[in-house]
A and B are shown apart, each in its own frame.
Chain A
């Protein structure tokens, strides 16, 4: 177990990210999120599309500027990318993106792209790891000769492994995966997810794993955070959250997963659509769809309690 006294590897505190459009009010994609990832810990972030998961991931890597709040990596603030050179210390945060067809350069050999990562690590003075792209390819289960090939010669699952190898080559202390498995075949998904977990933990890094696939997240994460419309509504140890979800949204999310048990049970339906994030409902964002909403839910925003749930049904003790 990680000691609670040490500062977390990644600290996100009251983060707000807004997107501006001409002629409209800014859209609050992330509205006050606090989250921690410790070394050697896998945190799964789940939620429906449009809830702000990817925006949060991008902000953590400094790809999207924060409006309010603080993001710290290993005690130093993460500054967003701008015209100046990126802080070399931040190369210890590496990201694996959703689409391995877009994230690899089609015109460069795979080996050369992995070398970029090795150089990034060397730039921070970390030279003790494997020195050649071949070693990283074999760590993700690909033959060493693949270093001489180009991305188009690989399948989606193999490309995602290459993207992981490239991220690992930079010797990350925090690995961020933004839907890294959703573009993959069902049979490859679990495989790649478990690979990310074991490789991150082997090197003692933390992993922030973002996905809309709850069953995969349940399988690899130590802790799960559930996001709804820009806010974290519940967080807790993976098994606990899965077995006894407290927030009505988490309950609905879990109930809507069809089980492959052969019983022919139709999953429960959560009525309504995800509201427009540029005009979120007042109070608790979930109240228009919540089966347990009562008077007051539409007025006051519930805070995330120390118990890890943001719901008026579970007030802070």
Chain B
């Protein structure tokens, strides 16, 4: 079931395509199926949203793309990045892609950054590993990245530690780290859930700008339909390990075809107020 969307821009080719992704996790008796055949496609410069309640398999789908699944996980189907199937890739080659071609921003910036390492250390480590940059070049790139995510005074920030920044600033730093190696695909798992609304607005604007400027293909995982509406170009709604509805943002959020999407929208405050 392939949706052949005709896009106006010629460069809207799929960078990442997930076909029939299944996931089984070991349980007490045999295996427990978490994902029942997920189909998704990500295009450069586009943000695709993945909505659903906790436990619906949103995060597992994101982790599957990065090959960061729990021990004993068995997968089926295909995840193709520019034609290469990530699921069958040997661990070494996948490791080389992870953080370089595909990277991730997590929910809580206070736990995803290392508290004892300076920002500079965390930003350059990974540049030196993947890009083989020398100390000076990595530093220059780090300053450029921090500027890109609007951290005031980047040079001083490199010498600082995560606890010296507010939650919003930390999430910006986490985004800078994810962008360090010019990934094609960015997976953002609840990137603003831990933030206040006023701070959230800034991070949402940043993600949109980076996506447009760098031509990133973004998979935005969030349960917040407001965030979804502000940022996503297209939306998939997940429930119990299945995608129940996929479509353009406006259609999914205003004229949902699936009963479950309607239930989610009805659960929002203000929907039933007179």
Contacts and interface: CB of A to CB of B under 8 A. Distances in A.
Contact of A219 (B204, B231, B254, B273): B273
Contact of A215 (B198, B228, B254, B268): B268
B230 A266 contact: yes
A269 B205 contact: yes
Nearest to B204: A266
Contacts of B54: 185
B223 A264 contact: no
Interface stretch (B37-45, B213-221, B244-252): B244-252
Interface string A212-233: 1011101100000000000000
Interface residues of B, number: 40
B269 interface: yes
Interface residues of A, number: 34
Contact of B196 (A212, A219, A259): A212
A219 B273 CA distance: 7
Tell me if A's interface is mostly helix, strand, loop or mixed: loop
A219 B272 CA distance: 9
Interface in B17-76: 53-54
Contacts of B205: 266, 269
B268 to A, nearest CB: 6
Which one of A216, A265, A267, A268 has the highest number of Cβ atoms from chain B below 10 Å of its Cβ? A267
Interface of B: 53-54, 166-169, 196-202, 204-205, 208, 223-233, 249-254, 264-265, 267-270, 273
Contacts of A212: 196-197
Interface of A: 48-49, 185-187, 190-191, 193, 212, 214-216, 218-219, 252-253, 256-271, 273-274
Nearest to B200: A256
Contact of B230 (A215, A216, A258): A258
Contacts of B227: 258
Given A48-B198, A216-B269, A258-B229, A264 B166 contact: no
A290 to B, nearest CB: 13
A29 B249 CA distance: 41
Contact of B253 (A193, A219, A262, A273): A262
B230 A190 contact: no
Which one of B53, B54, B169, B231 has the highest number of Cβ atoms from chain A below 10 Å of its Cβ? B54
Given A258-B204, A268-B201, A270-B198, A218 B226 contact: no
